[in-house]
Structure 1
Amino acid sequence: MSRDREGHVRNRNYRKIRAVGILVWLNGVYLLIKYGENSRFFSESYMTLTVLVIVTSAALLLVTGCLGSWVSLKDSICLQGLFVYLLVVVFCVKSTASALAYFHSVTLDTEMAPFSGVFENYTGSSEDSNSRSVDAMQEELKCCGVKNYTDWLETTWFNKSGGLRFPYSCCNVTFPTCNGTVYQPWQIYTQGCQEELSKVIQFALKMDMWSSLLVYVVEIGLFVMVKQLMRTNRSTRYQVLEKN
């Protein structure tokens, strides 16, 4: 294979790892935003740590990809060794992130134990941060109640408000005249919020686990490529001098 061809293949592999790094970073930021917006619906856990590890692994992927492009232009065994070391670090950090993501995906229902309590403490006041979180989630996820909209019938707020309507955030946007009345339940979102939020978090966690496979495949290719590059550099460094 010609030198130009080898350089093209190397750059293509470095672009792959940078692309995977961007994918992992976007997924980590998405998970961080969703968890941050709805943190009060979760018990105290290590979810924040998991998100930080995911974002860190993405940053390392991007740095490693950029370093690889630069190292490929240098005939330095030390720089190539540093690149291999970073690949190992990325592998360890990404494996840790995947393990944490799997742990949270399995225990997510347990971590969402405070969900019902948040709805029970709903006051309907715009000055109450708890109530604002409930309304924001119901509007964003297009859901109503914990399991379904009938959960509101058993809340303290429903009884104090006269038992005539659901929160306005339960109104289906396809019905502009909806005022949350209990006499028009077809204008209310029927799906529960706990299931919808669980789907969002599970999607992000599974995306991180699946992205790990892409990282491992790309890293294997890079390990093989760097090994060949180091062998080539070593063989060209020592040459037999012929007498004229």
Structure 2
Amino acid sequence: MSSQPMETKPVITCLKTLLVVYSFVFWITGAILLAVGIWGKIMLGPYISLIADNSTNAPYVLIGTGTVIVVFGLFGCFATCRGSPWMLKLYAMFLSLVFLAELVAGISGFVFRHEIKGTFLRTYTDAVLNYNAENEASVAVDYLQHHLRCCGVYNYTSWLASVYYPANGIPPSCCLNSADCSTQDLRNATAAPTKVYHQGCYELVTSFMETNMAIIAGVTFGIAFSQLIGMLLACCLSRIITANQYEMV
């Protein structure tokens, strides 16, 4: 009898262990994406819409992607433990598709970052000009101004052209100190500048995007190329098991 099975068994065991660990980590990333998508839909839906011309599908994309990764992460663990060559090939094919999708998404986000900034400028300006303190876009504007401590598109003067200003003045979400910022002050062109933030929201948001775009792109590419590791492990394990069918349980 050849000694090849005894020599191959440790290799298969090692590859199975690595692939199970990888699949578990892959499953965790899917669970995180799923949680972020659900959280984004519930908590950030109105605010994310400010960077899109229409209602954004980003939370649904994250939820869908996370769900698929969770399912295939479990499938990868099952395929590895089962030692099925065709299951491992299917898992490798899925990882290659995920790699391509993440690569395209990362490159597109980096290349079209200026278009994203232009879209944000357009939608945020429209939200300010048509602000009424009640609709979804108005709530998003208030949230952005209050939490980023900014006011208007470029500065507080952006509000002077809004439909809200003639009757109500600048929105309270622009106030430096809500306890010392009355409606009368916000209607007064002389007093209002001393009561509100002078920093525009557009500059803050776009500066954040520019500063962190390289980091986001790097993380995206890093995750994408990690799929290659899983794909290579799955392909190698499938080939070895196929060549040594008597080693399968």
Total equivalences in the alignment: 231
Correspondence for 1:151: 158
SS at structure 2 position matched to 1:147? coil
Show CA shifts across 1:19-68 (max 9, x none).
Answer: 33345445555666646435266434xx8356644544333332222211
SS at structure 2 position matched to 1:62? helix
Could you tell me how far apart the structure 2 residues matched to 1:221 and 1:130 are?
A: 43
Q: Structure 2 matches for 1:126-145, cutoff 5 A?
A: 126-127=133-134, 131-145=138-152
Q: Structure 2 matches for 1:87-106, cutoff 5 A?
A: 87-102=95-110, 104-106=112-114
Say whether residues 1:178 and 2:181 are aligned partners: yes
The one-letter amino acid of 1:141's match is L
Cα distance, 1:102 vs structure 2 = 3.6
C-alpha contact (below 8 Å) 2:16/2:237 kept by paired residues: no
Moved more, 199-208 or 220-229: 199-208
Distance 1:102 1:54, change over 3 A: farther
Percent of pairs with identical residues: 19
C-alpha contact (below 8 Å) 1:80/1:230 kept by paired residues: yes
Task: Give the structure-1-normalised TM-score.
Answer: 0.72
Correspondence for 2:129: 120
Alignment root-mean-square deviation, CA? 3.7
C-alpha contact (below 8 Å) 1:146/1:193 kept by paired residues: yes
Distance 1:35 1:11, change over 3 A: same
Could you tell me how far apart the structure 1 residues matched to 2:143 and 2:170 are?
A: 15
The one-letter amino acid of 2:129's match is E
Say whether residues 1:67 and 2:75 are aligned partners: yes
Could you tell me how far apart the structure 1 residues matched to 2:97 and 2:170 are?
A: 52
Moved more, 229-238 or 2-11: 2-11
Could you tell me how far apart the structure 2 residues matched to 1:215 and 1:130 are?
A: 33
Return 5+ residue gaps in structure 2 as ranges. 1-9
The one-letter amino acid of 2:197's match is Y
Show CA shifts across 1:165-203 (max 9, x none).
Answer: 532111135x63332625264542222122344467778
Could you tell me how far apart the structure 1 residues matched to 2:52 and 2:56 are?
A: 11
C-alpha contact (below 8 Å) 2:154/2:199 kept by paired residues: yes
Correspondence for 2:221: 213
Correspondence for 1:108: 116
**Higher helix proportion (structure 1 or 2):** 2
**Which of residues 39, 43, 50 is equivalent to 2:49?**
39
Q: Structure 2 matches for 1:53-64, cutoff 5 A?
A: 53-64=61-72
The one-letter amino acid of 2:146's match is E
